[in-house]
Amino acid sequence: MEAKSKKAGASRLCFLCNLRRPVLKRPKTLQQICRECFYEVFEEEIHQVIVQNRLFKSGERVAIGASGGKDSTVLAYVLSELNRRHNYGLDLFLLSIDEGITGYRDDSLETVKRNEVQYGLPLQIVSYKDLYGWTMDEIVKMIGLKNNCTFCGVFRRQALDRGAALLKVDKLVTGHNADDIAETVLLNILRGDIARLSRCTSITTGEDGPIPRCKPFKYTYTYAYFKKLDYFSTECIYSPNAYRGFAREFIKDLERIRPRAILDIIKSGEDFRIATTTKMPEQGTCERCGYISSQKWCKACVLLEGLNRGLPKMGIGRPRGVNSDHNKETKKPGSVAKSIESKQCGSLDF
């Protein structure tokens, strides 16, 4: 009986150090480990991902996409710590996007400003208002809560590239973790988006675009590590009905049944192969602003044109139709001048 009791007690100790009580069970290994061992293992795994995938070269300027949320806050801390510990030789910067969401972004930007001081990283803030002439508060007033995430996602992606260009960095790193990648795989399957599905699991994307993007957290979960930094994270007030949210709930339900479900979904995305007969969209540049696009106008320009013309739903769900509408309208007298006078998406050239 005493031997069984000792064995039971030992099984409740950390799998790695066998000294402290475990506080979590890792989905990828099913090991129950203590908080201290988790922090150590987490940092080492990120280091190995960086080294094995050759994400950086010494002397490179790297921008960290910093929203003030848990993922980007962990990314800023861990990357700055690993850069110092392993002598990567990187010049790191914080890059934040101010979407203009009262009660959300203004609070999270305060977290980023604290990161700037604590980690000694220069901060660059780029706003939707400066780039596009609109804030998300103004956009939501016009379009409502439905579909507003379409505007925010498209504008933010381009704003990050424009901010990175402003900083003259070689690479941009984001805090997308295993949950995010799995959600994206599922969303692209549901949408039938073959082009994005074929590249969404890549640890580095955009190598043929303005600035490569790296995702060192691709195989990891950041929530438990976030507790180490003692920060409070808030959710966007406009995102409760976001399509991604439903995918997130579905994946979390799967994870309760099968802890490795998220990593399995990512593996499925990695193994996905496109038939050689499949016609893929050809990437070019937007005729209006010079940003990468497979259409005559990039999605940001299409959405912005709709906003400026008082037709905010014009570019939603119809990636080709708006350019056709634009072509039709250019045949009308005076419409060319009106189109030229519309504000382009972004004030930085590519």
Binding-site members for ATP are 65-67, 71, 97, 175, 180
How far apart (Å, rounded) are the C-alpha atoms in residues 72 and 228? 14
Are 131 and 138 within 8 A, CB to CB?
Answer: no
Residues in the annotated binding site: 65-67, 71, 97, 175, 180
- Beta-bridged to residue 197, according to DSSP, are none
* Pair of tokens at residue 31: 């090991």
Question: Nearest Cα to 32, choosing from 15, 45, 44, 48?
Answer: 15
Question: HSE-up of 63 (CA within 13 Å, CB side)?
Answer: 27
Supply angle C-alpha 86, 90, 93, rounded to 5.
125
> How far is residue 317 CA from its own chain's centroid?
21
Return the number of other C-beta atoms located less than 10 Å from residue 244's C-beta. Answer: 15
How far apart (Å, rounded) are the C-alpha atoms in residues 120 and 115? 8
